[in-house]
C-alpha cells in the first residue's frame, strides 16, 4: 500500500482511463437493453397485428349471429316504436352485443397500438453518444 494511504494524509486516485471506461461500458449496456426492448416491442406489434385478423373475423361473425345489426337497423327504420319502448330496446341491443368478439378485438387493438407507440418512442429517443475519457 502507498505510504500516503497508510498515514491517512492522502487519497488514492483511480487510473485516469477508468472513468471513461466505466462510462463507455454503461453506454454500451444501455444501448444493448434498448435494442432488446425494440426487438421485443416490434415482435409484439407484429403478433398483435396478425391477431387482429381472427379477432375481426370473430367480431363480424358475432355481430351477424346475434342479430345486433337487425336491432340496430330498427333504430333507423322505426323510431317511434323505439321511443315508446326505449328501455327494452336498449336492453335487447346490449344483450345482442358479441362480448367475446369485442373483448378480443379491443385487446388485440390495444396491444398493437401500445407496442407501436413504444416502438416509436424507442426509435425517437436519442441514442447515447460514446463519451471520450
Question: Would you say the pTM of this structure is higher than 0.75?
Answer: no
Is residue 131 pLDDT above 90, yes or no?
Answer: no
What residue segments make up the domains of the chain, in order of their start?
16-70+97-124
Joined together, the cell numbers standing for residue 89 give: 330496446
pLDDT digits (tens, 9 = 90+) for 17-55: 888 889 889 999 999 999 999 999 999 999 999 999 999
Which cell is 84 given?
315508446
**Is 10 in contact with 4 (CB distance < 8 Å)?**
yes
Element (H, E) at 46: helix 16-66
Percent of the chain with pLDDT over 70: 87
What confidence score (pLDDT) does residue 12 get? 78
Looking at residue 4, its pLDDT comes to 52
Can you tell me the distance from the alpha carbon of 27 to that of 86, in angstroms, rounded to the nearest whole number? 63
Amino acid at each position: 500500500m502507498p505510504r500516503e494511504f497508510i498515514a491517512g494524509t492522502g487519497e488514492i486516485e483511480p487510473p485516469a482511463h477508468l472513468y471513461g471506461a466505466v462510462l463507455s461500458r454503461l453506454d454500451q449496456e444501455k444501448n444493448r437493453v434498448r435494442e432488446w426492448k425494440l426487438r421485443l416491442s416490434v415482435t409484439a406489434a407484429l403478433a398483435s397485428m396478425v391477431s387482429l385478423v381472427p379477432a375481426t373475423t370473430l367480431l363480424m361473425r358475432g355481430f351477424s349471429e346475434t342479430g345486433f345489426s337487425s336491432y340496430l337497423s330498427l333504430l333507423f327504420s322505426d323510431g317511434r316504436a323505439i321511443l315508446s319502448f326505449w328501455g327494452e330496446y336498449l336492453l335487447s341491443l346490449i344483450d345482442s352485443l358479441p362480448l367475446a368478439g369485442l373483448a378480443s378485438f379491443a385487446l388485440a387493438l390495444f396491444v398493437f397500438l401500445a407496442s407501436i407507440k413504444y416502438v416509436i418512442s424507442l426509435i425517437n429517443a436519442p441514442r447515447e453518444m460514446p463519451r471520450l475519457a
